[in-house]
Amino acid sequence: MSTPAAPPSPRRWTALALIALAQFTVIMDTSIIGVALPKMQIDLGFSQEDLSWVFNAYVIAFGGLLLLGGRLSDLFGARRIFIAGWTVLAGGSLVAGLAPSVWTELTGRALQGVGAALIAPSALTLLMMLFGSRPKELTKALALYGAAAPAGGTAGVFLGGVITEYASWPWVFYINIPIALIVLAAVPSVMPSAPVRRGSIDLAGAATVTAGLATAVFAVVRAPEIGWGSAQTWLVLLAGVALIGAFIAIQSKRREPLMRLGIWRAPNLAGANIAQLLMAAAWIPMWFFLNLYLQQVLGLGAFASGAALLPMTVAIMIMMIVLAPRLMARFGTKPLIVTGLLALAAGMLWLSFARADGTFWVDVLPASLLAAVGMSLAFIPSLGTALSSARPEEGGLASGIVNTSYQVGSALGLAAMTAVASAYGARELGDPGALTDGFSAAFLGAAALAAVGALASLLTLRTAPDRKEQPARADAA
């Protein structure tokens, strides 16, 4: 169910620009560090094994704290939490840029993740407050919000290369500070406010779910380093599962839980979140390994590799903004989600046939455009379905859940496909054939995840009812 909208005002589109900028920035922060990592390794003394934690520290904090960010948005107002998130993100960026040591750097990255975990669910809650009662505008708003993600990912690759070459690596973090200051200056005049609600913060629930998600993600992202057969990997993973189980037990007994378990009875909420999780688990590895294939096999530099990703990015943005809303209006959400995930799977299956002596025009461009079509069709309908299923007072919780699904899916999918690529030869950096074999295996594994997502969506999603019927059905849940 949609949340109450603010009174119609031209400023809501300015507010949407800030919300899209938030999505752009939190995604950009996952990709902008890539080109800078070698120089960071030299300056700060990272070992080769620990260097990946510059990425992982951000992702783990981001994914682990999203539910808490959503709950805080519901209790204290999304605008306040949005402001707090940008403040923390700016502070973390300053720490990361000034870091004199490995641990200070990882602390700064974790703080950036905390800020992102506050920004993401509050941004979606604000979007629903502004556009939730106007279906046509809501579809356009979600399309613009969704298009900001691939734009942020591609911009991060370009900006990371430009900044590292012409300035210095700390500026990949400092760039967030002026963006945050602009947003913080604009928020009071354009963002809707919400009253503080009475309620308590479920600290035990927040601690267990954050620790559980972080532990599970930690186990999977570290598994390629120490081995999937290692007892340590499975003990840490089991600990994460046990903590999540403890969280569910706590939620079932709390009077004011962090996550009301009954929310999962809302029609299509679970199915839409499964689609988001498996979509991310397939899409992020595809983007990651495609970039490696372009650079390490085809021999493109960082800038040329970023340029090679532009057609895919532009296609996603055009389709999300122009085509997807029209198709949703004509066919509904479920057919688009299933079709989109199947197209995503087909695109990655095509990429799995990439050759060691291949070319961009034959081995990359057509398959990546097909994958882009799939992502464009599936993302907006599944996101909108997940958000519209919740009660108005639980908009922040629904936003936190769907963001958690996407981010955890991203981290787990990338870690799992990294293990697959390593097992099939991607560690042989001097051998294009071995690298291609590993990347092809990763593309094939990602295609399987997208296909499973399509099947799960077909089986779990109901045909979307008329929007006027949704409030009653969601409240009844």
Q: How far apart are CA 329 and CA 198, in angstroms?
A: 38
- Residues 112 and 250: their CA atoms lie apart, in Å, by 28
Output the CA–CA distances (angstroms, integers) from residue 474 to 259, 264, 296, 387, 389, in the order listed: 16, 10, 49, 11, 6
CA distance 59 to 198: 31
> Residue 299 region, left (φ>0) first, then alpha (ψ -120 to 50), else beta?
left
CB 112 within 8 A of CB 96: yes
Q: Return the pLDDT at 429.
A: 58
DSSP string computed for 360-371: IIIIIHHHHHHH
Q: How many CB atoms lie within 10 A of CB 39?
A: 15
Q: According to the per-residue pLDDT averaged within each range, which of 85-94, 266-275, 374-383, 460-469 is highest? A: 85-94
Mean pLDDT, range 306-335, rounded to an integer? 85
Residue 226 tokens, joined: 């120490």
Using N-to-C axis directions, what is the helix angle for 135-166 and 324-331, rounded to 10°? 150
Establish how many alpha carbons lie within 13 A of residue 221's alpha carbon, considering only the half-sphere containing its beta carbon.
27
Higher local confidence (pLDDT), 91 or 307: 91
419-444 CB burial, b ≥16 within 10 A, e <16: bbbbebbbeeeeebebbbbbbbbbbb
Token readout for 327 is: 């198709």
The pLDDT score that the predictor gives to residue 320 is: 86
Looking at residue 9, its pLDDT comes to 58
pLDDT of 161 strictly over 80: no
* pLDDT at residue 372 is higher than 70: yes
pLDDT the model gives residue 302: 64
Average pLDDT over residues 41-67: 78
Residue position matching structure tokens 């690298």: 435
- Residue 36 pLDDT greater than 50, yes or no: yes
pLDDT at 204: 85
**Token code pair at residue 110:** 């974790």
pLDDT per residue as tens digits for the range 255-294: 778 788 888 887 888 899 999 999 999 998 888 788 778 8
Note the pLDDT tens digit of each residue in 418-476.
778 877 875 655 678 888 888 999 999 999 999 999 999 999 988 754 443 343 333 33
Q: What was the pLDDT predicted at 254? A: 84
Question: Residue 85: its pLDDT value, please?
Answer: 96
Lowest-confidence pick of 42-51, 89-98, 167-176 = 42-51
Query: Distance between terminal CA atoms of the chain?
Result: 11
